[in-house]
């Protein structure tokens, strides 16, 4: 198969990557990407690189592509990962704690996670929330 993205490091880039790998005091993902770039520059096949660095073949291909598109630093770094907005802000958490510490509703001996989630929706604190989210938020606070 013909490679679309070829890695050709300059002498200074190669030395910088070798220094990183030798020291080993960098994040594991960054270290693996540096190893991938060095092996690709040496002419190793992607399958062999993936096996030696213990990553998937797609990780090798992606690192090659990122190097060609943006250089060494772009290939070594990660893009910020999108994340959802938290369901509960500080005020919502305060309401949750106050509810959890209050008397359980009539007919129940204690609050369940589902009861707390339903009450937060009823009070208008959130539009929707799962019992698992409630459990995780309470666990973080203890």
Residue range 58-83, pLDDT digits in tens: 999 999 999 999 999 999 998 888 88
- At 12 the pLDDT is 94
Give the separation between CA 28 and CA 6, rounded to whole angstroms.
23
Q: In the predicted model, is pLDDT for residue 8 greater than 90?
A: yes
- At 41 the pLDDT is 95
pTM: 0.61
- At 33 the pLDDT is 96
What would you report as the CA-atom Rg of the chain, rounded to the nearest whole angstrom?
Answer: 25
């Amino acid at each position: 198969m013909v490679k679309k993205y070829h890695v050709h490091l300059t002498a200074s880039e190669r030395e910088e990557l070798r220094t990183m790998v030798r020291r080993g005091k960098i994040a594991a993902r960054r270290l693996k990407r540096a190893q991938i770039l060095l092996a690709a520059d040496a002419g190793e096949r992607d399958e062999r690189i993936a096996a030696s660095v213990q990553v998937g073949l797609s990780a090798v291909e992606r690192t090659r592509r990122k190097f060609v598109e943006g250089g060494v630093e772009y290939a070594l770094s990660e893009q910020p990962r999108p994340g959802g907005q938290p369901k509960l802000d500080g005020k919502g958490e305060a309401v949750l704690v106050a509810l959890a510490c209050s008397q359980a509703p009539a007919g129940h001996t204690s609050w369940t996670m589902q009861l707390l989630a339903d009450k937060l929706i009823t009070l208008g604190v959130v539009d929707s929330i799962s019992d698992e989210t409630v459990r995780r938020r309470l666990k973080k606070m203890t």
